[in-house]
Amino acid sequence: MRLKDKKAIVTGAASGIGEATAKLFAEEGAQVLAVDRPESAILEVHKGVASIVPMAQDITEDGAPERIISEAKARLGGVDVLMNNAGVSGRTFVEEIPLEEWDRIFNVNVRAQFLLCKLALPVMKDSGWGRIINVASVMAERTDYGLAPYCASKAGVAGLTRTIALEYGKFGITANYILPGPIYTGMTQQNFDQEYIRTVWEKKTAVRRLGQPIDIARGALFLASDESEYVTGIGLTIDGGLTLRT
Ligand SMILES: NC(=O)c1ccc[n+]([C@@H]2O[C@H](COP(=O)([O-])OP(=O)(O)OC[C@H]3O[C@@H](n4cnc5c(N)ncnc54)[C@H](O)[C@@H]3O)[C@@H](O)[C@H]2O)c1
């Protein structure tokens, strides 16, 4: 019960890392507002778990951050933990990237994260305790072909989070970001279901396997708990040793 009576928002909670994190937070005693797009399975995946309140909401819509924070206040009674996990990727070479594609990725990965942080911070300040956990990627510090907007957006997440950590530490609020490596989720399933791609990525890691959503959820649990009180502004790499070598 490491999150007993904590009120947590998890975005992108219908699939992969967000789904696993919402479940783990609930198992550890938190009340969770689980947010995902209306087209996702958000209204089904957490059925039967009383401490998870699902919310079908695209986080990039006008007014969405306001609606999410109000829902957390109304249904949970506040916001102690904000796990900004929803994210999207794309794969296009720089010359071919339409501006709409750049904006689509930044709107989810950075803009919506920023707005949710902005609105959650005053609520956390009032209670004198808060945990912001933003999901970046190992691609915040590295790159791969076709990932310019994704890498740039995840580097943006890191910069945003470090600055929040600096500005809000004095209010009992910590802000950290997670850099997941190759995790088997809705985002990566299509690639990793191809045997040769899966084998290459398994071999790239030191522990010789792909990550599972729970591997990231456990890191998020630490960052959400009282135990991480003196940890702020860091990027927690959870990648099975993927990035050890050059
Ligand atoms: N899977 C990996 O290998 C990996 C590696 C590094 C970082 N990440 C990051 O982890 C996070 C979670 O991704 P995942 O791998 O679990 O993928 P996923 O596709 O399984 O889950 C992402 C969820 O975010 C939701 N989402 C997307 N846009 C949204 C929007 N506008 N409003 C509300 N919800 C929205 C999707 O519907 C989906 O349910 C992302 O930020 C991703 O960039 C994943």
- In degrees, rounded to 5, the angle at the alpha carbon of residue 197 between the alpha carbons of residues 195 and 199 is 65
Summarised one tens digit per residue, pLDDT across range 203-212 is: 999 999 999 9
Write the residue with the smallest CA distance to atom 2 of ligand 1: 183
Summarised one tens digit per residue, pLDDT across range 74-91 is: 999 999 999 999 999 999
Ligand 1 centroid – CA 17 distance (Å): 7
The pLDDT assigned to 193 comes to: 98
205/29 Cα distance (integer angstroms) = 33
Q: Which atom of ligand 1 is nearest to the CA of 109?
A: 41
CA 17 from chain centre, in angstroms, equals 7
Q: Above 90 in pLDDT, residue 8?
A: yes
Closest CA to 72 of 34, 115, 16: 34
Residue 246's pLDDT band (cuts 50, 70, 90): confident
Write the residue with the smallest CA distance to atom 38 of ligand 1: 12
The pLDDT assigned to 121 comes to: 99
Determine what percent of the chain is predicted with pLDDT higher than 70.
Answer: 100
Mean pLDDT of the chain: 98
Determine what percent of the chain is predicted with pLDDT higher than 90.
Answer: 100
Q: In the predicted model, what is the mean pLDDT of residues 20-38? A: 99
Residue holding tokens 């996990």?
Answer: 85
pTM of the model: 0.99
Q: In the predicted model, what is the mean pLDDT of residues 156-162? A: 99
17/15 Cα distance (integer angstroms) = 7
Write the residue with the smallest CA distance to atom 25 of ligand 1: 12
Summarised one tens digit per residue, pLDDT across range 163-191 is: 999 999 999 999 999 999 999 999 999 99
Q: Which atom of ligand 1 is nearest to the CA of 86?
A: 24
Q: In the predicted model, what is the mean pLDDT of residues 89-109? A: 98
- In degrees, rounded to 5, the angle at the alpha carbon of residue 241 between the alpha carbons of residues 235 and 245 is 100
The pLDDT assigned to 153 comes to: 99
Q: How many CB atoms lie within 10 A of CB 47?
A: 9
Q: Which domains, from first to last, does the chain contain? A: 7-183+214-237 (3.40.50.720)
Q: How many CB atoms lie within 10 A of CB 66?
A: 12
Residue holding tokens 């909670």?
Answer: 13
With beta carbons less than 8 A apart as the criterion, state whether 236 and 178 touch. Answer: yes
Instruction: Find the residues whose C-beta lies inside 6 A of ligand 1.
Output: 11-12, 14-18, 36-37, 40, 58-60, 85-88, 108, 135, 137, 180, 182-183, 185-188
Closest CA to 149 of 89, 75, 208, 100: 89
Q: Above 90 in pLDDT, residue 154?
A: yes
